[in-house]
Structure 1
Amino acid sequence: MTGGQDEVDRQTAPTQRSSVKPAVFILIAAALAIFGALAGGYYFAMRPAILHIAVGPANSDDLKVVQALTQTFAQNHSYVRLRPVPTEGAAESAQALADGKVDLAIVRGDLNVPKNAQAVATLRKNVVVLWVPAGAKGKKKSDKITKISQLAGHKVGVIGRTPANVGLLKVILQQYGVDPAKVETIQFPITEAAEAIKNHKADVYLAAGPVNSKITTDAVAASIRNGESPTFLAIDSADAIAQNHSEYESADIPAGAFGGAPNRPEDEVKTISFNHHIVARKGLSDSTVAAFAHQLFAARQQLLADFPLAAKIETPDTDKDAAIPVHPGAAAFVDGEEKTFLDRYSDYIWWGLMALSAMGSVGAWFAGYLKKDERSNNTSLRERLLDMITLARRTDATEELDKLQAEADDILRSTLACFEDGAIEEGALTAFNIALEQFHNAVADRKLILMSMPQNLQRASAQLRAASS
């Protein structure tokens, strides 16, 4: 009966140890899953942010600048990447932002700015230029227009197809008490402006753009007649217009802004100005906008050689009463309060470490739970070893001692395997060693006693014990 139980115990021990292997695989799989989650989180945090920007019209300087920025960001492997979305003009770009179709847009400050738009940068400042071409042969000087108030009954040519410039003209006319209905307005495409001026298609011309705009400079140059320079009309009421329309500002066109000898204009000319803005939709990540603003101003110097207009890119107005509220991300860049990587993701890192700690605790508990049966089995084997000490001291046959010794070897093998698996601690192994040592001593002592007894006494003793049992 004892031998049968011993055999069962020896067969059970490897089975219990083998149950630990799936647990090891589970822990490895969990570790790999955690590593994969961390790697995926890092990739997600560091992958480029793609921002779609609406800009137009086609072949405009604005579109060319945005395309150059797109290439620069890509070449520099910047965090923010741009995807230009061409439109018919600033009005369409603003509508695309309002509809949520794009993340960024180039808009005119004197148009209806979407409610969800927040300023990121001022792309350029535009001035309004009004001038009268030099008179043709035979035209009386008394008919020459020198003031805006004289425009009633005349034809004004507006350079560019955008309706915004026509609206701008109406604002100016109304400020001077001129009925816009009494002024005929004709719009010319940018590519046809010089030819229209040479062919006297209008009496007065209006252009809106940067002071150093090539479009305006070419149009003014086309207005020269027989060496005579055009006459520039000053908007003396610019301050009043700016007071009544917050989207406009009073400005001056410096003498010689459009070149020539003599200078065109000969003296400084009073006018109004408005801005083209880069705006972002409200709700766009603060860190993304801050990164975009940082890249934009860093790339500005790289673009100056090919795009002089890039020098006009300015930081947005951060005042609370600004015409277009500044985006918090752009404000952080302007104020030098950009968040670092740790600032942006410290909460995620902290929670990640907490999650790892919790998962480690759960994993340790789970591993301990899976080894519960193995520890229980090892405890049973140790108790069996203690019982074997008593058996060794009572046995009357060396063959039985040899069997007990073989069983002890199996128990030793199983215990060492449990220790390597972590199922038992060093203290338990020490206790087992003490029991094993006592067993070996009991076997050795019993063998000495049996060897000193005559064979007939050994047989008689064995038969007596068998009969009593």
Structure 2
Amino acid sequence: MPKGQAPRAIFWVAVLLFAVAAALSLFYYLSPRATLRITTGPAMSPAQRAISTFIHVVSGTHPFIRVEEVPVADLEASAKALEDKKVNLAVVRTDVAAPANGQTIAILRRDIVAIVLPHGSAIKDAAGLARKTIAVPAGPLQAENQRVLDQILAYFDVPAASVQRLVLPLEEIGRALRSGRAAAALAVGPIGPGQAVDVVATIAKATKGAPELLPMDQADAMVKRFPGFEPVDIPDGAFKAHPPVPGDTVKGLAVTYRLVAPFSMLNVVAGAVGRSIFKTKAKLAALSPAGAQIEAPDLDAQNPLLPVHPGVAAYLASGDQSFFDSLQQYFYIVGIPLSLLGSLIAVLIGLWNNRRLVEDQNRVVRLLSLADEALAADGAGLARIEKEFREIVADCVNKLAEGEAGPDRYPVSSLAIDHARRSIEWRKDRLRAG
């Protein structure tokens, strides 16, 4: 290679390697090729319906994201699967075994904890539930919902054992209150289609009156004791429009279903999952009423159990700009080391080529030296010179055959070999001539 071209070639090799590293890094992070394992929640539960809708939309919107469903027996098992690192995402309910390593990606649903009373009930607060019977709708979450009731009773110093539970199909709850078999009904559901609205409707139909909601005036204080709850204002007419139920705004409690990820999930991944959910909410709502109940977590809310994941918080605070900033950050984290590695490889290649060039130069110099030595050598010395000469020639031929010696350097070596051979042959002739 002519002098001056080697550094230029090394430079362009380094540039090429940097470009390849940058392209690969950008492609890797912008192409969402990933497999996410996610719990589905108990069968036939609101959580399972929400996740099924989410998986359907994500699979259509992001064909390179593969979502693998992991069925679990209940909400406790869902939380434990995340703690045990068996899944990447889990559906949890804040009042049921919140995972210690969980951080919120999205709120899938907010359920009001409602104790529904027939019109004109003498029960005015939770303490009045002592020694009464409460109807509980049968369903996949009836055990979890009864634990919610136990916590409310515990706050008001009402022994849980003193309150009887009557688990009934939804359509029988109204008749149970009308006949006096139950004094109230427990309902855990959203403001909208769900269990709370259905329980109010069946009681209103059976009793021919507007049901009432038991107010939780101490909800703010209860949340401090049971952080799985949230205080909420239930607006008038939330569960029935005419006559309105409740008749006026009532203080209440709520629990939330959340899609959570471990805190070890990269910010850019958590942000991408949250972005996918919030950007496709309209599609989710069109497929299922559960989609309309999805909401972004409140960044100002202090939830010690399941705080917002930093990646989602950054996206919610700054939108797509934050998301692409995160991509850029990971590009630098991966791209720069790769480019440095490429530059190092280019330098090593240059050093290797320089070493081979020096070897070639030394070989030529040695051939010239052998030629000079041969002119005055005696018989023994000439034999030694000829032996070394043959070794050098064999080495040159082998390197040329293996591609280690380029054809561009062959003419110089060939001239040196020819010069050394002529000197050896001349000295042989002189020694034979005596």
Q: Normalising by structure 2, what TM-score?
A: 0.71
Which residue identity lines up with residue 93 of structure 1 in the other structure? S
* Greater relative CO (CA pairs within 8 A, separation 6+): 2
| Distance in 2, Cα, partners of 1:50 & 1:168 | 35
Q: What residue number does 1:401 align with?
A: none
Give the secondary-structure state (helix, strand or coil) at the position aligned to 2:206.
Answer: coil
Q: What residue number does 2:206 align with?
A: 225
Distance change (3 Å), C-alpha of 1:359 and 1:272: same
1:94 to partner: Cα distance? 0.9
Give the secondary-structure state (helix, strand or coil) at the position aligned to 1:112.
Answer: coil
1:279 to partner: Cα distance? 1.2
Give the secondary-structure state (helix, strand or coil) at the position aligned to 1:213.
Answer: coil
Distance change (3 Å), C-alpha of 1:87 and 1:186: farther
Distance change (3 Å), C-alpha of 1:79 and 1:287: farther
Confirm whether residue 240 of structure 1 aligns to residue 240 of structure 2: no
1:157-196 alignment to 2 at 5 Å? 157-159=135-137, 160=139, 161-188=141-168, 192-196=169-173
CA contact under 8 A between 2:200 and 2:240: conserved in structure 1? no
| Distance in 1, Cα, partners of 2:370 & 2:83 | 81
Distance change (3 Å), C-alpha of 1:109 and 1:180: same
Distance change (3 Å), C-alpha of 1:318 and 1:251: closer
Q: What residue number does 2:348 align with?
A: 362
CA contact under 8 A between 1:57 and 1:87: conserved in structure 2? yes
Distance change (3 Å), C-alpha of 1:424 and 1:318: farther
Distance change (3 Å), C-alpha of 1:357 and 1:206: same
Which residue identity lines up with residue 185 of structure 1 in the other structure? R
Q: Structure 1 stretch 74-83 or stretch 254-263: which is displaced more?
A: 74-83
Q: Structure 1 stretch 197-206 or stretch 64-73: which is displaced more?
A: 197-206
Confirm whether residue 279 of structure 1 aligns to residue 260 of structure 2: yes
**Which of these residues, 45, 51, 55, is aligned with residue 60 of structure 1?**
45
| Distance in 2, Cα, partners of 1:152 & 1:158 | 16
1:20-99 alignment to 2 at 5 Å? 46=31, 48-77=33-62, 80-99=65-84
Confirm whether residue 263 of structure 1 aligns to residue 240 of structure 2: no
Count the aligned residue pairs. Answer: 364
Confirm whether residue 331 of structure 1 aligns to residue 313 of structure 2: yes
Which residue identity lines up with residue 148 of structure 1 in the other structure? A
1:206 to partner: Cα distance? 0.7
Distance change (3 Å), C-alpha of 1:421 and 1:220: same
The alignment yields a C-alpha RMSD, in angstroms, of: 4.0
Distance change (3 Å), C-alpha of 1:267 and 1:299: same
1:173 to partner: Cα distance? 2.3
Q: Structure 2, unaligned stretches of length 5 or more?
A: 1-9, 373-399, 416-429
| Distance in 1, Cα, partners of 2:355 & 2:99 | 61
Give the secondary-structure state (helix, strand or coil) at the position aligned to 1:156.
Answer: strand
| Distance in 2, Cα, partners of 1:174 & 1:41 | 55
Give the secondary-structure state (helix, strand or coil) at the position aligned to 2:50.
Answer: helix
| Distance in 2, Cα, partners of 1:212 & 1:345 | 44
Distance change (3 Å), C-alpha of 1:236 and 1:56: same
Q: Normalising by structure 1, what TM-score?
A: 0.66
1:280 to partner: Cα distance? 0.8
- Higher Cα Rg, which structure: 1
1:288-307 alignment to 2 at 5 Å? 288-307=269-288
Confirm whether residue 251 of structure 1 aligns to residue 228 of structure 2: no
1:128 to partner: Cα distance? 1.3
| Distance in 2, Cα, partners of 1:234 & 1:365 | 81
Q: Structure 1, unaligned stretches of length 5 or more?
A: 1-26, 135-140, 387-413, 433-464
